[in-house]
């Protein structure tokens, strides 16, 4: 009998990837990505700052009995030396013992909320380093070996916040807008190489992100939320199909479709109003 739970991966075709490197794998979308891929037979290289939580993920996957390994790689991607270590892991060809990476998931990121002039300047720079610089460098590090092998996939996690400027969310939205446009352009550049890049735009997803960003408990209507399981399921389906762009969740799809139809000034006013009421 086919397992009706899509998060387990049983009853589904195996993932087309042998080994995935996932940043931000200790919690939220990244951890769920590791769970679903492992259930479909993909080995995992788990990257995050918190070594203890990565080791907990490795134990969880081992106990699930999927027959895959989880390689724990602690790293703060805002630190140039630690980011370089992850770049080196992406460049491995298998000759030195490390499995070649044929799926990179750039998921690590964080947001800051509030008036830009009142936010910590160093914190804003760190946000840009993680959400933009790390994504660019890791994508570049992964693509060279993938193109040489003629196969591979990159998934870059953006956000619906990157589709429209919103006061009180300036730096985060701008970083995600960069990820979206950068990723779409690279997808086009990869045509004919056997390598694809998919950028995903989640909306409000039940993870630790809101707590860390300081927006937990705001008045966000229930229908706007989705689970990490739903988000990851849609993302992996889009990546398997080689799609350049996916917005997860039907409310987010509706918002994304409506944004280009409205005049920019109106969009800006509505965004400001929404932000003030959350």
Residue 150, Cβ density class (10 Å: 0-12 exposed, 13-18 middle, ≥19 buried) = exposed
Asked if residue 66 lies in contact with residue 41, where contact means CB atoms within 8 angstroms, the answer is yes
- How many angstroms separate the CA atoms of 172 and 35, rounded? 27
Of 16, 199, 188, nearest to 102 by C-alpha is: 16
113 is catalytic: no
Asked if residue 163 lies in contact with residue 259, where contact means CB atoms within 8 angstroms, the answer is yes
Asked if residue 213 lies in contact with residue 112, where contact means CB atoms within 8 angstroms, the answer is yes
- How many angstroms separate the CA atoms of 90 and 124, rounded? 27
Nearby residues of 75 by Cβ (< 8 Å), 6 or more positions away: 47, 48, 49, 82, 83, 85, 86
Residue 239, Cβ density class (10 Å: 0-12 exposed, 13-18 middle, ≥19 buried) = buried
Task: Cite the DSSP H helix spans in 102-249.
Answer: 121-128, 134-149, 170-189, 209-213, 228-240
Q: Strand 204-205 vs strand 225-226: parallel, antiparallel, or unpaired?
A: parallel
Which residue in the list 17, 172, 182, 204 is annotated as catalytic?
172
- Which residues are designated catalytic? 172
């Amino acid at each position: 009998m086919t397992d009706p739970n899509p998060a387990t991966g049983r009853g589904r075709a195996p993932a087309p990837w042998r080994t995935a490197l996932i940043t931000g794998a200790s919690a939220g979308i990244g951890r769920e990505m590791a769970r679903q891929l492992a259930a479909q037979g993909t080995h995992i290289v788990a990257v995050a700052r918190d070594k203890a939580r990565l080791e907990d993920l490795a134990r969880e996957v081992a106990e699930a009995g999927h027959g895959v390994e989880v390689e724990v790689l602690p790293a703060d991607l805002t630190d140039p030396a630690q980011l370089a270590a992850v770049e080196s892991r992406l460049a491995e060809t298998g000759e030195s013992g490390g499995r070649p990476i044929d799926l990179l998931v750039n998921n690590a990121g964080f947001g800051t909320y509030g008036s830009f002039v009142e936010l910590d300047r160093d914190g804003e720079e760190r946000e840009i380093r993680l959400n933009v610089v790390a994504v660019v460098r890791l994508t570049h590090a992964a693509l060279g070996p993938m193109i040489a092998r003629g196969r591979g996939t990159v998934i870059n996690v953006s956000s619906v916040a990157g589709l429209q400027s919103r006061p009180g969310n300036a730096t985060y939205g701008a970083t995600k807008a960069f990820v979206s446009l950068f990723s779409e352009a690279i997808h086009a550049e990869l045509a004919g190489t056997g390598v694809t890049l998919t950028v995903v735009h989640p909306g409000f997803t039940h993870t630790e992100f809101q707590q860390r960003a300081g927006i937990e408990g705001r008045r966000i209507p229930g229908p706007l939320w989705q689970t990490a399981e739903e988000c990851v399921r849609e993302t992996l389906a889009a990546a398997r199909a080689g799609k350049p762009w996916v917005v997860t969740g039907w409310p987010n799809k509706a918002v994304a479709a409506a944004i280009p139809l409205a005049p920019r000034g109106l969009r800006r006013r509505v965004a400001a109003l929404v932000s003030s009421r959350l």
